[in-house]
Amino acid sequence: MSPASRLVFLGPPASGKGTQGRRLADDRGLSYLSTGALLRRALRDDSDLGKQARPFLDRGEYVPDEIMVPMVLEWVKAQDGGWLLDGFPRTVPQAEALDAALPEGEQPQAIVLHVPDEELHRRVTSRLECSLCHRVAKKEEKDICPACGGELEPRADDSVENFGSRLAEYRKLVVPTITYYCDQWRARIVNGLGSPDEVYARLS
């Protein structure tokens, strides 16, 4: 399997990873995992994962590697074909663990969405998420998801205070991870400004 069939999607919060990653996975026939959606569902269900992750997410921090890595690697190893990870790895140790779990020569390529801070703040105050399919929507789409009919609601981690913490965590932890992929010539930086269709045209 070629590295092009194994992708990791990285970028700051509200950069469009979920929207673009899901679309790219659908178009290429790749299995898709959003670690953010997985964690938010665990919080709503009050599962064991949710209970472990809640203190970190409530502070706008990333969930520690010892919780995230086994969960994601278990999912990766269960996939028969290609896959796309949205929001993982978020630290260099996570990236190293993912590389080590894969056969030699089948390590993933990284796609990085770049969006200026002022645009990120604008987006985070105007988005909703479907409680069922986790599709990201805008507030003008009202209350019902046009994709599945689920309820649209604000994301629990989208408060202004929480967003500031998440952005700081991104710079501290994810930016070095992006450097890790760049140093190995395995990263592609994509301009995330514009409409979803305009951004997707740069990806495909």
| Domains in the chain with CATH codes | 3-203 (3.40.50.300)
The residues carrying an active-site annotation are: 17, 90, 127, 155, 166
pLDDT of residue 185: 96
Q: Does position 181 have pLDDT exceeding 90, yes or no? A: yes
| Beta-carbon contacts of residue 81 (< 8 Å; ≥ 6 apart) | 1, 5, 29, 30, 31
How far apart CA 150 and CA 145 sit, in angstroms, is 5
61 within 8 A of 172, measured Cβ to Cβ: no
pLDDT of residue 102: 94
Name the pTM for this structure.
0.77
- SS3 for 119-149 is HHHHHHCCEEEECCCCCEEEHHHCCECCCCC
Q: Does position 154 have pLDDT exceeding 60, yes or no? A: yes
pLDDT of residue 149: 79
Q: What is the mean pLDDT of residues 147-157?
A: 73
Q: Does position 2 have pLDDT exceeding 70, yes or no? A: no
Residues in the chain: 204
